[in-house]
A and B are shown apart, each in its own frame.
Chain A
Amino acid sequence: MAQVSFDAVTKRFGETTAVDGLTLKVADGELLVLLGSSGCGKTTALRLVAGLEEVTEGTVSIGDRVVNDVDPKDRDVAMVFQSYALYPHLTVGKNIEFPLRQRGVDKEERSTKVAKAAETLGLTELLGRKPAQLSGGQRQRVAVARAIVREPTVFLMDEPLSNLDAALRVQTRADIVELQARLRTTTLYVTHDQVEAMTMGHRIAVMSDGKLQQVAAPEDLYARPANAFVAHFLGSPGMNLVEGMLVESGSPGTLCVAFPGASVPLPPEVADAVRGSGPDVVLGFRPEALHLSPDGSIAATVVIVELLGAETHVICHTETGARIIVRQLASATKPSLGEGVRIAVDPDPCAYHLFDSGTGDRLGPSA
Chain B
Amino acid sequence: MSSSASSGVTPTEQAASPPPGAAPSEGHARTLRARRRREWSLAYLLLVPALLLFGVFSFYPFFRNFKLMLYETPPVPGVPAHYVGLHQIIPTVTSTQFTQSLVTTIVFVILVVPFSLLAGLALAVAAHRKLKGMAVYRMIFSSTVVSSVAVASVVFGTLLNPVVGLLPWLGISPSPPALESTTWALPSVAVITIWQFLGLSFIIMSAGLQSVPDELLEAARIDGAGAWTRFWRMTVPLLSPTIFFGVVVSTIYAFQAFGAVDILIGPQNTVRLHTNVLIYNIVNTLQISNNAGAAAIMATVLFLILLGLTILQLRFLERRVSYARG
Task: Indicate if A102 sits at the interface (CB-CB under 8 A).
Answer: yes
A79 near B326: Cβ-Cβ < 8 Å: no
Task: Indicate if B189 sits at the interface (CB-CB under 8 A).
Answer: no
- For the complex, give the distance between the alpha carbons of A88 and B215 in Å: 12
- Interface class of chain A by DSSP: mixed
Q: How large is the interface on A (under 10, 10 to 19, 20 to 34, 35 or more residues)?
A: 20 to 34
Among residues 222 to 268 in chain B, which have CB atoms less than 8 Å away from a CB atom of chain A? 222-226, 229, 234, 237-238, 240
Among residues 99 to 145 in chain A, which have CB atoms less than 8 Å away from a CB atom of chain B? 99, 102-103, 130-133
B229 near A102: Cβ-Cβ < 8 Å: yes
Residue of A nearest to B236 (CB): A89
Question: When A72-B221, A87-B234 are in contact, do A132 and B323 touch as well, CB less than 8 Å?
Answer: yes
Which residues of A have CB within 8 Å of B324? Answer: 88
Question: When A73-B226, A85-B213 are in contact, do A132 and B221 touch as well, CB less than 8 Å?
Answer: no
B223 near A99: Cβ-Cβ < 8 Å: yes
Residue of B nearest to A104 (CB): B224
Residue of A nearest to B225 (CB): A102
Which listed residue (A85, A130, A132) contacts B216, Cβ 8 A? A85
Which residues of B have CB within 8 Å of A302? Answer: none
Task: Indicate if B38 sits at the interface (CB-CB under 8 A).
Answer: no
Which residues of B have CB within 8 Å of A72? Answer: 218, 221-222
Which listed residue (A98, A103, A130) contacts B326, Cβ 8 A? A130
Residue of B nearest to A102 (CB): B224
Residue of B nearest to A52 (CB): B218
Which listed residue (B215, B218, B229, B326) contacts A131, Cβ 8 A? B326
Task: Indicate if B148 sits at the interface (CB-CB under 8 A).
Answer: no
A79 near B219: Cβ-Cβ < 8 Å: yes
Which listed residue (A73, A78, A131) contacts B225, Cβ 8 A? A73
Task: Indicate if A146 sits at the interface (CB-CB under 8 A).
Answer: yes
A77 near B222: Cβ-Cβ < 8 Å: yes
Residue of B nearest to A143 (CB): B219
Nearest CB on A from B136, distance (A): 20
Which residues of A have CB within 8 Å of B240? Answer: 89
- For the complex, give the distance between the alpha carbons of A87 and B232 in Å: 13
B218 near A85: Cβ-Cβ < 8 Å: yes
B residues with CB within 8 A of A: 213, 215-216, 218-226, 229, 234, 237-238, 240, 322-326
The 3 closest A-B pairs by CB, nearest first: A132-B326, A102-B224, A85-B219
